Structure 1
Amino acid sequence: MNLIREGAFITELIFQAELVSHSHERLKDSVDDFDKIAVWSCIQSILISSGNISKILWPISKYKERGKQLRELLKIDSESVLKSRKFRNKFEHYDELLDDFFKDKNIYSYTDLAMNPSLSSSIGESCHRGFNSYNNTLVIHGEILDLNDIVDAVEQLKLKCESLFI
């Protein structure tokens, strides 16, 4: 990969990492302000930006070699938490999750965008999307993502990228 192309991708990785970092800081403030819309906006931004990082480092097969070269340059483990786009995809395709949930059911319990769902015994498995501000975890249809793991991995990636410019 030539230096200009490599630099462009490294710069984009830094930009996406900054978006994650900024959104994470805003998330903390939004929780403190009890601003539910801002909380979910920040979570979605973290998922989208970390998903963009994932697409750069683990691209579609057409660009597979570029991803491999960047991961080698940045010493990114193939099992990095950044590889998975599962939670980003669940947000992006939430309409499909809803269709699947409501299909062929006569009785429903539906709770969405819950704050601190694990603190309420009445929500349980009916929580479609929930955020636990005490430990910074995201719950989607019973699956849990620790946002701290994402934010930490993105920060480490950013430091690696920036070190290439020194």
Structure 2
Amino acid sequence: MNGLQQMVPIGEIVLQTKIAKRAAERLHATHDVFDNIETWCSIQSILVAAGNVSKILWPNQRYKTRGEELRKLLQVKPDNPLSNRTFRNHFEHYDERVEEYFQVNSQGVYTDQAMNPYLNSGLFGHIPTHTHRGYNSFNNTLVFRDEILDLTEILTALDELLNSCKPYTLV
């Protein structure tokens, strides 16, 4: 990759990171004044922006070399949490997840967009399996059924990546 070929995706990483950071600020602001739409809009923006960065750094097989070169240049570690797009996929393919759920669950219990699902979760703080999407404002985690994503960990990884981009762009 030549200089321009590096600068364009790095510039996009910077943009997507700034989008995620702004969304995180909006999300934090919803903690004091509950706004369900803004909460989920902010969460979705964080997930999409992080997913876009992930696709740049861990592209499909056709662009594998580009991803490897960018990860090396930006010193991205192999265990970087941005490499996992599972939660972004849960939200992006929500319709499929709902259909799959009802194929194996005929029960009438279905909870979505739960706020602080741990507080009303029954014994020992376990999240009910019927909670599909949930957000815990106390520790900044997302829930999708029995999976948990730490948004702070994702935002920290984006901040570290932004710092790695500084020598290559006007951040």
Tell me if TM exceeds 0.5.
yes
Q: Give the shorter-chain TM-score range.
A: over 0.9
What's 2:86 paired with? Answer: 86
Kindly provide the amino acid, as one letter, of the partner of residue 41 in structure 2. S
Partner of 1:32: helix, strand, or coil?
Answer: coil
Identity rate, percent: 45
Distance 2:106 2:7 in 1: 55
Is 1:124 aligned with 2:147?
no
- Paired residues of 2:10 and 2:165 also in contact (CA < 8 A): yes
Distance 1:165 1:70 in 2: 14
1:76-99 Cα offsets, whole Å, 9 max, x none, are 011110100000000000011100
User: What are the ranges of 5 or more consecutive residues in structure 1 without an aligned counterpart?
Assistant: none
How many angstroms does 1:105 deviate by? 3.4
What's 2:156 paired with? Answer: 152
Distance 1:124 1:90 in 2: 17
CA-atom RMSD, angstroms?
1.3
How many angstroms does 1:104 deviate by? 4.4
How many positions carry a matched residue from both structures?
166
Distance 1:33 1:156 in 2: 30
1:10-35 Cα offsets, whole Å, 9 max, x none, are 11000000001000000001222100
User: What are the ranges of 5 or more consecutive residues in structure 2 without an aligned counterpart?
Assistant: none
How many angstroms does 1:164 deviate by? 2.6
Distance 1:15 1:83 in 2: 18
- Paired residues of 2:11 and 2:169 also in contact (CA < 8 A): no
Partner of 2:135: helix, strand, or coil?
Answer: strand
Distance 1:104 1:137 in 2: 27
Of 101-110 and 56-65, deviating more is 101-110
1:98-136 Cα offsets, whole Å, 9 max, x none, are 001111433231100000000003672211100000000
What's 1:7 paired with? Answer: 7
Distance 2:60 2:118 in 1: 36
| TM-score normalised according to structure 1 size | 0.96
2:137 to 133, 140, 146: 133
